Amino acid sequence: MDASFEPKIIALVCNWCTYTAADLAGTSRLKYPANVRLVRLMCTGMIDVKYVIKAFLEGADGVFIGGCHPGDCHYINGNLKARKRIRSVGSILENFGFDPGRLTLQWIGASEGPEFARHMTEFVDTIKKLGPNPIKTRMIL
């Protein structure tokens, strides 16, 4: 494992819950890795599998998806739709040579700033252990 490796993490997050938790973490001055790039969506139910795969193909080392807790979705069941879609992505990633641990889905409520910071830190640590995206090592520059 390269000690200087800092993973590039794309976080696709729900506007109503996980993004608000990220904002709370920031205003509470909680620390989490700076190499996480948030992409705010109105709902995780909007996530299309092709965008998750595209993130990896364009060099993301990990993709984090954060949404409302089941039963709390502002769009009734968008988070449950996301869970169903994301479950199927694991086998697709394996077929491309990716460890399915590079993708995670977590439920983080709006008032859970500390949990957001913890999940981000744990996910970045997991990706550091997995090393760089395998696509990066296969690219011809």
pLDDT tens for residues 30-39? 999 999 999 9
Domain that holds residue 121: 9-136
Is 3 inside a domain boundary?
no
Q: Give a yes or no: residue 34 inside a domain.
A: yes
Which stretches within the chain are classed as H helix? 18-27, 49-57, 78-95, 113-130, 134-138
Residue 56 lies in a domain: yes
Number of domains in the chain: 1
Q: How confident is the model at residue 2 (pLDDT cuts 50, 70, 90)?
A: confident
Q: What is the pLDDT of residue 139?
A: 54
Provide the pLDDT for residue 138: 62
For residue 47, give the CATH number of its domain: 3.40.50
Residue 1: the pLDDT is 61
On whether residue 1 sits in a domain, the answer given is no
Residue 141 DSSP SS3: coil
Q: Per the domain annotation, does 124 fall within a domain?
A: yes
Structural domain contains residue 4? no
Position 141 pLDDT exceeds 50? no
- For the residues 92-101, what does the mean pLDDT come to? 89
